[in-house]
């Protein structure tokens, strides 16, 4: 299909409460929305790298400029038949995965709409309902965390993820494990530690965690392999895997036992599918992570999570957990205990609410032929 117009929006979305993790604290989420138009049809994509380059080297205002000035013009007027075609057109620009993802995801939404089928089926999903977990950022007190975890356990969540960072570390895992001896838990360090913290990781090894997510530097594979050799608990890589090439190296180096795939971090759904298939072939299980996207980005993560190698409950949360009023419609809601169902409408099933996008918009560009 030929792309005639690309609209790019930078929006700031207020959170119900600050999101606190190893990479830093977020009071609001900055997200880039892209609409691509082909004839009478349009598709939407969303990429959420956060407002500052603290999770990865990319940040929302940079992504907005990158898409508007460099990437969108590369796609105009071309006949693009597949996600691989689109990625090839973007390939002169190195890296910039979140920026590429916004266009890639909009293309997939448009492509599914063109085929009049739900995105989860276009991507190759087998069943529309996926399992999801609960996750909790850094709290003020351990008592507050225990109350939150208890709420999640009572609601029937199949697993709970805990953000973990210096000052909010071993003591929280010990408290949670002793309060809930049978719970499935894992921690996410968001790149805050080094190999010099080996003794702490050895102590964690006795806590029967399902995995330890991204303990070491954001782009590292070698040190993770060294740490994995010392631990029984599997490592899960998030930040370090930005492409299929990095996934292949992580598998070859035995840097991890799991990969958390986020479409934004890896340049979009095209690359997410490739990493999924690579992991399946290598016998490495995956799950889908999130970046606190609006319901549009979350629906695209949901469609991806319907693929068969996503075997651990995914990080897709009901909209109300983060937002008083989600920028996109419809909001994400649970369809059952610890599960969410992807809609059967054409495309990903969600798009920005025009009024709320207008109110949250900081900058916009329209790129046309
Ligand atoms: Mg993570």
The reported pLDDT for the residue numbered 48 is 97
**100 given a catalytic annotation:** no
Q: What is the pLDDT of residue 153?
A: 96
Expressed in angstroms and rounded, the spacing between residue 55 Cα and the centre of ligand 1 is 9
Q: What is the pLDDT of residue 150?
A: 97
How many other C-beta atoms are found inside a 10 Å radius of the C-beta of residue 324? Answer: 10
Burial of residue 180 (CB within 10 Å: 0-12, 13-18, 19+) is middle
* Cα of 189 from ligand 1 centre, angstroms: 7
Report the pLDDT value the prediction gives residue 22, as an integer from 0 to 100: 87
Q: Is 126 an active-site residue?
A: no
Instruction: Kindly list the distances between the CA atom of residue 57 and the CA atoms of 83, 119, 159, 275, in Å, as whole numbers in the listed order.
Output: 24, 29, 30, 21
- Compute, in angstroms, the gap from residue 327 CA to the centroid of ligand 1: 23
Q: Are 276 and 286 in contact (CB under 8 A)?
A: yes
- Give me the CATH code for the 121-341 domain, please: 3.20.20.120
pLDDT score at 24: 85
> Which pLDDT score, from 0 to 100, does residue 369 have?
82
Out of 35, 161, 246, 262, which one is annotated catalytic?
A: 262
- The architecture (CATH level 2) of 5-116+353-368 comes to 2-Layer Sandwich (3.30)
Domain map of the chain by residue range?
Answer: 5-116+353-368, 121-341
- What's the rounded Cα separation, in Å, for the pair 330 and 73? 30
pLDDT under 50: residue ranges of the chain: none
């Amino acid at each position: 299909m030929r792309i005639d117009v690309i609209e790019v929006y930078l929006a700031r979305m207020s959170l119900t409460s600050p999101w606190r993790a190893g990479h830093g604290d977020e009071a609001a989420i900055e997200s880039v929305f892209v609409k691509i138009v082909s004839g009478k049809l349009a598709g939407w994509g969303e990429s959420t790298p956060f407002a500052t380059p603290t999770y990865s080297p990319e940040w929302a205002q940079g992504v907005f400029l990158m898409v508007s000035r460099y990437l969108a013009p590369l796609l105009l007027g071309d006949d693009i038949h597949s996600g691989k075609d689109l990625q090839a057109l973007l390939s002169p620009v190195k890296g910039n995965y979140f920026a590429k993802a916004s266009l890639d995801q909009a293309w997939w939404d448009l492509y599914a709409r063109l085929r009049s089928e739900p995105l989860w089926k276009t991507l190759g999903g087998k069943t529309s309902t996926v399992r999801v977990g609960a996750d909790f950022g850094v709290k003020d007190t351990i008592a507050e965390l225990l109350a939150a975890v208890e709420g999640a356990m009572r609601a029937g969540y199949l697993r709970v993820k805990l953000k973990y960072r210096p000052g909010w570390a071993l003591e929280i895992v010990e408290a949670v494990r002793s309060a809930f001896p049978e719970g499935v838990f894992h921690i996410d360090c968001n790149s805050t530690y080094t190999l010099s913290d080996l003794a702490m990781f050895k102590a964690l090894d006795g806590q029967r965690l399902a995995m330890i997510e991204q303990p070491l530097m954001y782009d590292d594979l070698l040190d993770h392999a060294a740490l994995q050799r010392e631990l029984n608990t599997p490592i899960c890589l998030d930040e370090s895997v930005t492409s299929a090439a990095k996934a292949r190296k992580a598998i070859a180096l035995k840097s991890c036992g799991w990969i958390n795939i986020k479409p934004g971090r890896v340049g979009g759904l095209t690359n997410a599918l490739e990493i999924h298939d690579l992991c399946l072939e290598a016998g490495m299980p995956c799950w889908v992570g999130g970046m606190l996207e609006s319901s549009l980005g979350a629906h695209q993560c949901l469609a991806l999570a319907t693929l068969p190698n996503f075997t651990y409950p995914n990080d897709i949360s009901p909209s109300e957990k983060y937002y008083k009023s989600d920028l996109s419609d419809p909001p994400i809601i649970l369809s059952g205990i610890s599960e969410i169902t992807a809609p059967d409408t054409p495309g990903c099933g969600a798009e920005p609410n025009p009024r709320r996008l207008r109110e949250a918009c900081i900058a916009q560009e329209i790129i046309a032929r």
